[in-house]
Homo-oligomer: A and B are copies of this chain.
Amino acid sequence: MSDAATDLAPAPVKIGFLIYPMVTALDALGPAQILSAVPGAQMHYIWKEKAPVASDSGYTINPTHDFDDCPQLDVICVPGGFGQVDIMNDEAVLGFLRTQGQDAKYVTAVCTGSLLLGAAGLLDGYEASCHWAWHEQLALVGATPKQGRVVRDRNRMTGGGVTAGIDFGLTLAAELAGEDVAKLLQLSFEYDPQPPFVGGHPTKADPATLELSRAFMADGVASMAEAAKQAQANKDKARAAAE
């Protein structure tokens, strides 16, 4: 942007988002908007191949990197989405995350993305958050479910559902570049939210809306539970084989 940003620039920081078919776009692109403005940010949008990837919002985006040419990242972030069920037991994806997770400074997720981190074994013994409707499934993949819009445990940082990615992005920006920069970004992106309705969380929603929302997501919740159990079984099997 302006020279003011350059004046603040610290060392380069490699930030990467996994982008897969039917990802919930905002899970990734909300925090990516914030984090791409962190001085020194080098953004990576990663999938198996560089062909356009369909988001859940009716457009495709083009990965900048594939699993082979993606460098070691400082920050790896896994967004959620209905398409995630199909990769919960995909060894190519899990292997990529495990490799990155070994040396990344921050291993992160938004929404149900934390379940994929768990499937890769990256949340074993860590506290984590998740979209409210899938939150308890964290226990299925070795994580300790903890309520929170943004939950941090050592170098793991995980956000709640979808729009929590904005809060997550600003919180991580403060870690990466300091609180002054994060406050600058919060003001520059005019993050002064005024939700038009009460009820953005089950603790605040009226019963009818909650019931409707559960029905809206029921299939996705059920299929993710199955995939999570399978992923954990595979982890247990690999661990037993290694012993």
Q: Hey, which bits of chain A sit against chain B, CB under 8 A?
A: 1-2, 4-5, 24-26, 29-30, 32-33, 36, 41-45, 52, 56-64, 82, 111, 131-132, 149-150, 160-164, 166-167, 170-171, 174, 179-180, 182-184, 186-197, 199-202, 204-206, 208-210, 212-213, 215-220
Q: Is the CB of B162 within 8 A of A196?
A: no
By beta carbon, the residue of chain B nearest A59 is B45
Considering residues A45, A60, A190, A216, which has the most beta carbons from chain B within 10 angstroms of its beta carbon?
A190
Specify how many copies of this chain sit in the oligomer: 2
| The residue from B57, B63, B200 contacting A33, defined by CB atoms under 8 A apart | B57
Contact check, A209 vs B187: say whether CB atoms are below 8 A apart. yes
Q: Is the CB of B182 within 8 A of A216?
A: no
Q: Which one of B57, B217, B218 contacts A32 once the chains associate, using CB atoms below 8 Å?
A: B57
Closest to A172 in B: B196
Please measure, in the bound complex, the distance between the C-alpha atom of A42 and the C-alpha atom of B59, giving whole angstroms: 11
CB distance from A152 to the nearest CB of B (A): 11
- Give the nearest-CB partner of A32 in chain B: B57
Q: CB-nearest residue of chain B relative to A163?
A: B191
Q: Which of B43, B58, B162, B209 contacts A184 (CB 8 A)?
A: B209
Partner of A167, one of B26, B41, B194, B216: B194
Instruction: Pick the 4 closest A-B CB pairs, nearest first.
Output: A161-B190, A43-B58, A192-B200, A193-B193
Interface centre among A43, A44, A195, A205, by most chain B C-beta atoms within 10 angstroms, is A195
- Distance to closest chain B CB from A151 (angstroms): 12
User: A2-B215, A33-B25, A59-B43 are known contacts. Are A191 and B184 too (CB-CB below 8 A)?
Assistant: no
Partner of A187, one of B26, B60, B193, B200: B200
Known: A61-B59, A197-B170. A163 touches B189 (CB 8 A): yes
A174 neighbours in B (Cβ, 8 Å): 196-197
- Residue in contact with A212 in the complex, picked from B4, B56, B200, B220, CB distance below 8 Å: B4
Given contacts A26-B33, A33-B57, A44-B58, 5 further A-B pairs with CB under 8 A are A43-B57, A59-B63, A149-B193, A167-B195, A170-B196
